[in-house]
């Protein structure tokens, strides 16, 4: 037990430290939104090339020959020939995460609005003015749409409507659909339990405490392993070691008792984390559970944390609402949504593209591919091959044809693959240096580190199973640590009884 705990712990200390630190960062996205990492310091796969890595989500044509291209790398002004690129982020909060632009829309009268991760902006005199104060919400924003001169914004849980002069937004709670299944995705339950969000702010703070103590366990564990040898060597050399002995004694104190106190919660944290990535993810991705009492799952709003995208279809004068539960149709935003059944496949990671290319055809894209959706005939075809797509039951994300953006404002339609970049690659020029040098937010860097993708130096097979393998190591460390502590306590009691 001692050998397993010692050597498995020593080998895994660095990875466990990164897990804990990145987990704390992931729980506080707003707080670190202005902190960035230079992509030049990251592995090659994280650097921009050919407009990849989510750098482009979409584009919009403004007056004259001006085109705004936007996405994970902020907003850039160019022309229909993509001749020059100029940063167009004046007025938007600093930081790569704050610059991630979900969508830009234009009203009939020419007012332009942009939605970023946390804010909505209106373009005034070539500068973005923040209108988020009129929303009165701390929720992450999901999408924006216009109809006439009215603006319709959705957060993760609510819909907001505003008209000229856009000084206030009316909050609309979308109605509960008929035959609504109130069960919750087991994947979502695992996710929120792992982050602590399942129990609100208190839960997230508690998971932060677990992360901080895990960092303490890493540091004290290394001290406990190496300090005894150092002390013996100093004793042989006749050197004073009182300070080091005090540090070792304190390390034992902070390593053992807190480890036992938090053991159960660390086990839960470990096991839930293992199920959030393949291959264990496959076993829960289609499963659902009843809402857990006294958690955020019992929210009266059935759309809590489910709204993702909104579009208005002027062909049949209806709204299309994409949610984590699928696509819904509404003739009026205050009416009851009707679930659509013949819809394109969408990755569990969510919808990235929904663009209308003619009166009846929409292009939809996600990490499960890109498709043409004819709402008149209800036919769905692969965007590249034109072959009919059979709707498949849910499963893990398909990364082979992952699409993160789409544009139809240049010489031809362009799809943006997450890894491959612009397809076809002969419409846009190679990314200019200023665009290519975009940064990565600390939050997204933490996410890449937390799921293990950042360790590109590891063999592919190890990366594929990094999370379950890490979970096994952590379980070994926790269980052996508990057993060592239990046996030593038992021996100590026997000695006391003998005395």
Query: In this predicted model, what pLDDT tens digit does every residue of 2-20 receive, in sequence order?
Result: 999 999 999 999 999 999 9
Query: In this predicted model, what pLDDT tens digit does every residue of 211-263 receive, in sequence order?
Result: 999 999 999 999 999 999 999 999 898 888 899 999 999 999 999 999 999 99
Segment 276-298 mean pLDDT = 92
SS3 of the chain: the string is CHHHHHHHHHHHHHHHHHHHHHHHHHCCCHHHCCCEECHHHCCHHHCCCCCCCCCCCEEEECCCCEEEEEECCEEEEEECCCCCCEECCCCCCCCHHHHCEEEEEECCCCCEEEEECCCEEEEECCEEEECHHHCCCCCCEEEEEEECCEEEEEECCCEEEECCCCCCCEEECCCCCCCCCCCEEHHHHHHHHHHCHHHHHHHHHHHHHHHHHHHHHHHHHHHHHHHHHHHHHHHHCCCCCHHHHHHHHHHHHHHHHHHHHCHHHHHHHHHHHHCCCCCHHHHCCCCEECCCCCCHHHCCCCCCCCEEEEEEECCCCEEEEEECCEEEEECCCCCCCEECCCCCCCCCCCEEEEEECCCCEEEEEECCEEEEEECCCCEEEECCCCCECCCCCCCCCCCCCCEEEEECCCCCCEEEECCCEEECCCCCCCCCHHHHCCCEEHHHHHHHHHCCCCCCCCCHHHHHCHHHHHHHHHHHHHHHHHHHHHHHHHHHHHHHHHC
pLDDT (0 to 100) of residue 136: 87
pLDDT (0 to 100) of residue 24: 97
Segment 441-469 mean pLDDT = 95
pLDDT (0 to 100) of residue 349: 86
Question: Has residue 394 got a pLDDT over 50?
Answer: no
CATH class label, 49-180+302-436: mainly beta
What average pLDDT is seen over the chain? Answer: 93
Query: In this predicted model, what pLDDT tens digit does every residue of 144-156 receive, in sequence order?
Result: 999 999 999 999 9
Question: Has residue 395 got a pLDDT over 60?
Answer: no
Question: Has residue 393 got a pLDDT over 60?
Answer: no
pLDDT (0 to 100) of residue 391: 58
Question: Has residue 400 got a pLDDT over 60?
Answer: no
Query: In this predicted model, what pLDDT tens digit does every residue of 309-356 receive, in sequence order?
Result: 999 999 999 999 999 999 999 999 999 999 999 999 998 889 999 999
Question: Has residue 497 got a pLDDT over 80?
Answer: no
Q: Is the pTM of this model over 0.75?
A: yes
pLDDT (0 to 100) of residue 128: 97
Range(s) of the chain covered by CATH 2.130.10.10: 49-180+302-436
């Amino acid at each position: 037990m001692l050998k397993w705990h010692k050597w498995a712990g020593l080998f895994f200390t660095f990875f466990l430290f990164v897990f804990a630190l990145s987990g704390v960062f992931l729980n506080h996205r707003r707080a670190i939104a202005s902190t960035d990492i230079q992509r030049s310091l990251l592995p090659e796969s994280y650097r921009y090339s050919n407009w990849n890595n989510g750098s482009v989500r979409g584009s919009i044509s403004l007056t004259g020959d001006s085109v705004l291209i936007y996405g994970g790398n902020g907003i850039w002004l160019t022309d229909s020939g993509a001749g020059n690129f100029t940063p167009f982020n004046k007025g938007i909060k600093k930081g790569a995460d704050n610059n991630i632009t979900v969508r830009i829309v234009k009203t009939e009268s020419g007012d332009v609005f942009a939605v970023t991760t946390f804010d909505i902006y209106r373009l005034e005199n070539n500068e973005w003015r923040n209108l988020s104060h009129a929303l009165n919400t701390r929720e992450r924003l999901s999408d924006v749409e216009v109809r006439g001169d009215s603006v319709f914004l959705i957060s993760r849980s609510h819909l907001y409507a505003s008209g000229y002069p856009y000084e206030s937004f009316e909050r609309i709670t979308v109605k509960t659909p008929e035959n609504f299944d109130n069960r919750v995705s087991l994947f979502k339950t695992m996710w929120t339990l792992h982050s602590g969000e399942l129990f609100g702010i208190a839960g997230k703070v508690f998971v932060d405490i677990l992360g901080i103590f895990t960092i303490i366990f890493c540091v004290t564990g290394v001290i406990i392993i190496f300090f005894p040898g150092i002390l013996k060597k100093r004793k042989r050399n006749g050197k004073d070691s009182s300070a080091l002995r005090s540090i070792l004694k304190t390390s034992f104190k902070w390593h053992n008792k807190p480890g036992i106190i938090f053991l159960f919660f660390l086990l839960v944290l470990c096991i839930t984390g293992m199920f959030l990535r393949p291959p264990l993810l496959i076993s829960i991705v289609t499963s659902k559970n009843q809402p857990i009492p006294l958690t955020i799952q019992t929210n009266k709003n059935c759309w809590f944390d489910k709204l993702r995208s909104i579009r208005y279809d002027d062909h049949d004068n209806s709204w299309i609402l994409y949610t984590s539960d699928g696509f819904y149709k509404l003739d009026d935003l205050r009416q009851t949504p009707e679930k659509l059944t013949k819809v394109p496949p969408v990755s569990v990671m969510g919808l990235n593209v929904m663009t209308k290319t003619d009166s009846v055809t929409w292009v939809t894209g996600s990490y499960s591919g890109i498709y043409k959706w004819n709402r008149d005939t209800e036919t769905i075809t692969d965007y590249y091959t034109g072959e009919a797509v059979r709707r498949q039951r849910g499963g893990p994300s398909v990364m082979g044809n992952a699409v993160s953006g789409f544009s139809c404002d240049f010489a031809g339609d362009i799809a943006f693959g997450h890894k491959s970049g612009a397809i076809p690659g002969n419409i846009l020029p190679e990314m200019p240096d200023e665009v290519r040098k975009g940064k990565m937010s600390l939050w997204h860097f933490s996410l890449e580190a937390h799921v293990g993708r950042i360790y590109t130096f590891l063999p592919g097979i190890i990366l594929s199973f990094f999370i379950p393998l890490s979970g096994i190591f952590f379980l070994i460390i926790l269980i052996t640590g508990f057993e060592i502590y239990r046996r030593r306590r038992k021996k100590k009691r026997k000695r006391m009884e003998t005395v």
